[in-house]
Structure 1
Amino acid sequence: MDDVDARLQQMIEGLLDQRRPDASICPSEAARAVDPDGWRDLMPAARAAAGRLAAAGEVEVTQGGAVVDVTVAQGPVRVRRPQ
């Protein structure tokens, strides 16, 4: 895992820590915080960071309110603490 990947994971966790326990974030929020100008290029890495955190049990990735596997989910996803 390189520095950007680690920063994205830390940012996802940090953003969730700042929210209500039942709130979610979009991976793009973490990408924007890490690189405000190049965030779009970071989206695959942000989704991968969410996937690693989900695999570790730290977060859940959802789509339409249902927990999904981010590696196969297409379209927008949200990230939340496990419910």
Structure 2
Amino acid sequence: MDDAGLERALERAIDVLLDARAPGATICPSEAARAVDPEGWRALMPEARAAAGRLAARGVVEVTQGGTVVDVAAARGPVRVRRVSR
């Protein structure tokens, strides 16, 4: 899979995973990475976090850490992803 295909696959995985959750529920970017590559997901973590960041920049999701919205590019440690409340 090329870089653009991987980006789309991770963004799609985040979208599908959030659709399957209750409103306001969160996912970990690792869940998207596992959905795209169950065996090699750890290597995809930077790309999964970047996918969450792109979706956040579009206003589709929020990336949180400790319940507070953060910039995933600046966040260190575990983050969660949730749909933007409307």
Q: Residues of 2 paired with 1:80 and 1:22: CA distance?
A: 6
Which residue, 31, 43, 53 being the options, matches 2:55?
Answer: 53
Residue 39 of structure 2 aligns to a residue whose secondary structure is: coil
Amino acid across the alignment from 1:68: V
Q: Residues of 1 paired with 2:76 and 2:33: CA distance?
A: 18
Residue 15 of structure 1 aligns to a residue whose secondary structure is: helix
Cα deviation, residue 82, structure 1: 1.1
In structure 2, the partner of 1:67 is: 69
In structure 2, the partner of 1:14 is: 16
Q: After the TM superposition, list the runs of 4 or more consecutive aligned residues in structure 1 that deviate by more than 2 angstroms.
A: none
In structure 1, the partner of 2:43 is: 41
Q: How many pairs does the alignment contain?
A: 83
Cα deviation, residue 4, structure 1: 0.7
Gaps of 5+ in 1: none
- C-alpha RMSD of the superposition: 0.8
Residue 64 of structure 2 aligns to a residue whose secondary structure is: strand
The two structures have a TM-score, normalised by structure 2, of 0.94
In structure 1, the partner of 2:82 is: 80
Identical-residue share of aligned pairs (%): 67
Amino acid across the alignment from 1:38: G
The two structures have a TM-score, normalised by structure 1, of 0.98
Residue 79 of structure 1 aligns to a residue whose secondary structure is: strand
Q: Residues of 1 paired with 2:59 and 2:24: CA distance?
A: 16
Q: Residues of 1 paired with 2:68 and 2:56: CA distance?
A: 14
